[in-house]
Amino acid sequence: MSDLASVDRPVVNRRRGARRPRSYERFNIHHRIQHFIMALGFTMLVITGWPLRFPELRVSQLGCSLVGGVEVVGIIHRVFGVSLIVVSVYHVIYLLVMFLRGHRSVAMLPSWTDAREAWGDVMFWLGRRPSRPRFSRYNWIEKVEYYAVVWGTAVMIISGIVIWAPTYFTEYVPAWVVSASVIVHGYEALLAGLAIFLWHFYWVHLHPDVYPMSMVWLTGKLTEGEMEHHHPRELEMIRARRTGAGGGNPSPDEGGEGEEA
Amino acid sequence: MKVTMHRCLTICLLAGWLLGPALAAAQQPAVEPADDGWDHERFTRQLTGTETCLACHGSYNPVVRRPDNPRHSLWVNSQLFLQSVHARLGCDACHTNIDSHGHRLAGMAPVRDRCAPCHAPEVEPLDGAGESPREQDLARMVELAGLDMTLTVALNACLECHPEEYEQYKTSVHGVSVLEHKDTDAPFCMDCHGIHYILPADDKRSQTNPGNVPDTCLTCHDQADVKARAGLTREVGATFEESFHGRRAMLGGISVAVCSNCHGTHAIYAADDPRSMVNQRSLAKTCGQCHEGAQLNFAAAFSHKSVSRTEQLGLYILKQIYQWVIFLLIAQFVLFAALDILQVYRRRRQQRKGGSVHV
């Protein structure tokens, strides 16, 4: 079991003058671009959607006057809404192309291992086990987050388009669909915002083992230390494959069992 | 030498003290007659009259005894009044019954002295009351609202210059309630427009400015007792604030729809009246003012029905589900994160104690 106090945190360690360690690719350029546009769009959508969600707050009213009125805020919201739609389509096309090219990874698919790992985590949190489970490439929390984003984005895009063009949609669907979309858009946004800023940010920023953050969302690479601590089972598999392949000189950027591997 | 300096300073201060207010007064916006086809001579005469009135009514607080209020104030905020749309008309345009010297009320028996009209207001019918239909209406208004003659004549003055609005009002729910049903809750001109401070609708302080229209209407339409007497059941205030229209209005939007955009102004009718803007026949057109291509089905999405068990059960259930899901998920996030951080620090402490700092 690795020592929690000496977990590799590259941002901190590099500042302390550590040597650049061997790295493992986790997110390729497509992943990083998608994540970056998603993160930017999401943040801007939360900020520009906030005033309409809580119009009675002084901060909402001041925010609107600051940028030139609620009309401008609405335009910005739609611009980033479109960027979110574009990046979602990009993601679907990316997955399709990878699938058709034969890069068929099951790393992100839910499995019984996830249930066991979730149980292991609960036991750890209750103090019944000394450490967290030995995770592979994607742990159960990351998978839940991924599917939550898929679901949430789909719901937000659909409800958002409906309330963007209500006159068009009411020609074909009952009026309650529009009213329901308004409710869904508001509450799903609240849920998504809280999930990202509480749950996601806890695991990728606030957690003592990663604070302030891992460089992986920018460089796409994890260090050996990070791999040992966060993805020991994946690292084991990579090492096993290497030795199985004759123990030759391994590429420092060799990926795991990911989609692009 | 010192004395001279001292004197200079004193003179300067004194000059400043005198000139300061004079300069400030000179900067007050003067009411300039515009070249807009008005009879400026008449205007000037009337303005002079207004200033005469405001000399007392705009400075100290003249009070009179009334049956309902022993210290009824006759004070007018002259600064605000001079910005109102009627400032150029002068007081006597509406208060037609004021004798400029004697303060006598027209239509009353001649008074012995100038104090009697205020201090012993024995109201008698207007001259010629009961002759024309409008005067009958006025007489009814007086009877209903217990208005004094001054106010009644002022109402008459509204109708004098705004006959079209009066014709619309007369057939509207508000007008019919007042004139036919003798409903004391229903509004007259001044309930919506104000009395002395009728500002242009594009002035943010105006009661009929889009930003203030909801407040003006909700003065009555959010009153439980008024609504009960009028048979109104919808929570129009709360549902407006919930709607996109209300939210944008709260955020100071320029192109927002307020009550009057959908319901009209003087010609407001009940929703089941074919003349109403919110009648099934007209709804598509009413929404279409802003929402190009709106159909009747579109209008149904923006009713004043509240998301409650009784009015919109499906949406109410949807909202409840979301609120519970959000509460439970966030509670779980916080719980797991809190437990996790506790365990992480517990293990670090143990390791430090055990001295097994080793990978």
Phi, psi of A23 (to 5 degrees): -120, 155
pLDDT above 90 for B286:
yes
C-alpha torsion sign, points B185, B189, B195, B197: positive
Q: What is the pLDDT of residue A2?
A: 44
Q: For position A85, what pLDDT does the model report?
A: 97
Look at residue B167 and tell me whether its pLDDT is greater than 60: yes
The DSSP call for residue B307 is S
pLDDT, chain B, mean: 78
Q: Is A60 on the interface with B (CB under 8 A)?
A: yes
A40-44, A103-107, B56-60: which has the highest mean pLDDT? A40-44
Q: Do A166 and B301 touch (CB under 8 A)?
A: yes
CA distances for B220 relative to A71, A234, B180, B186, B242, angstroms: 30, 69, 19, 8, 19
Asked if B252's CB is within 8 angstroms of A69's CB, the reply is: yes
- Report how far Cα B143 is from the mean position of its chain's Cα atoms: 25
Chain B nearest C-alpha distance from A240 (Å): 20
| Closest Cα in chain A to B312 | A176
pLDDT in tens, A92-112: 999 999 999 998 888 999 999
The reply to whether omega before A133 is within 30° of 0 (cis) is no
Of B270 and B73, the one with more pLDDT? B270
Would you say residue A73 has pLDDT above 50? yes
**C-beta contacts of A36-42 below 8 A and 24+ residues apart:** A36/A217, A37/A83, A37/A84, A37/A86, A37/A87, A38/A84, A38/A87, A38/A149, A40/A80, A40/A83, A41/A80, A41/A81, A41/A83, A41/A84, A41/A87, A42/A84, A42/A192, A42/A196
Per-residue pLDDT of A115-131, as tens digits, reads 999 999 999 999 899 88
Q: What is the mean pLDDT of residues B45-50?
A: 60
The tokens describing A199, both together, are: 């749950």
Residue with tokens 């500042």: A15
User: What φ, ψ does residue B123 adopt, rounded to 5°?
Assistant: -85, 130
CA atoms within a 13 Å half-sphere pointing along the CA-CB vector of B300: 15
CB proximity B348 to A under 8 Å: yes
Tokens of residue B153, six digits: 């004549």
State the pLDDT confidence band at B99, using cuts at 50, 70 and 90: low
Handedness of CA B162, B167, B172, B175 (dihedral sign): positive
The burial class, CB within 10 Å (0-12 / 13-18 / 19+), for B30 is exposed
Among B66, B67, B62, B64, CA closest to B78: B62
* Residues B160-167: contacts with CB under 8 Å, at least 24 apart: B162/B189, B165/B189, B165/B266, B166/B134
Q: Print the SS3 string covering A83-121.
A: HHHHHHHHHHHHHHHHHHCCCCCCCCCCCHHHHHHHHHH
Q: Which of A219-228, B143-152, B304-313 has the lowest mean pLDDT?
A: B143-152
- Please answer whether residues A173 and A198 qualify as being in contact, where contact means their C-beta atoms are separated by less than 8 angstroms: no
Q: List Cβ<8 Å contacts ≥24 apart for B238-247.
A: B238/B306, B239/B303, B239/B304, B239/B305, B239/B306, B240/B214, B240/B304, B241/A56, B242/B306, B242/B307, B243/B302, B244/A52, B244/A182, B244/B302, B245/B302, B246/A55, B246/B214, B247/A52, B247/A55
Q: Which residues of B touch A148 (CB under 8 A)?
A: none
Question: Looking at beta carbons, which residues of chain B come within 8 Å of A5?
Answer: 348, 351-352, 357
SS3 B233: coil
Q: What is the DSSP letter of B31?
A: -
Q: Are B348 and A4 in contact (CB under 8 A)?
A: yes
pLDDT of residue B47: 53
In chain B, residues with a C-beta closer than 8 Å to the C-beta of A182 are 244
Q: Answer yes or no: is pLDDT of B92 > 80.
A: no
Q: What is the pTM of this model?
A: 0.77
- What pLDDT was estimated at residue A62? 95
Query: Which structure tokens are listed for A106?
Result: 């099951």
User: What mean pLDDT do residues A75-103 have?
Assistant: 96
What share of chain B has pLDDT > 70, as a percent? 72
CA distance A239 to chain B (A): 18
What are the phi and psi torsion angles at A257 (to 5°)? -95, 30
**Burial degree of B154 (CB within 10 A; 0-12, 13-18, 19+):** buried
ipTM value, please give it. 0.84
Each residue's pLDDT tens digit, A166-190: 999 999 999 999 999 999 999 999 9
For A25, the enclosing helix (H) or strand (E) is strand A23-25
- The DSSP symbol for B98 reads B
pLDDT at residue B40 is higher than 90 = no
Q: Which chain B residues in 301-320 lie under 8 Å from chain A, judged by CB atoms?
A: 301, 307, 312, 314-315, 318-319
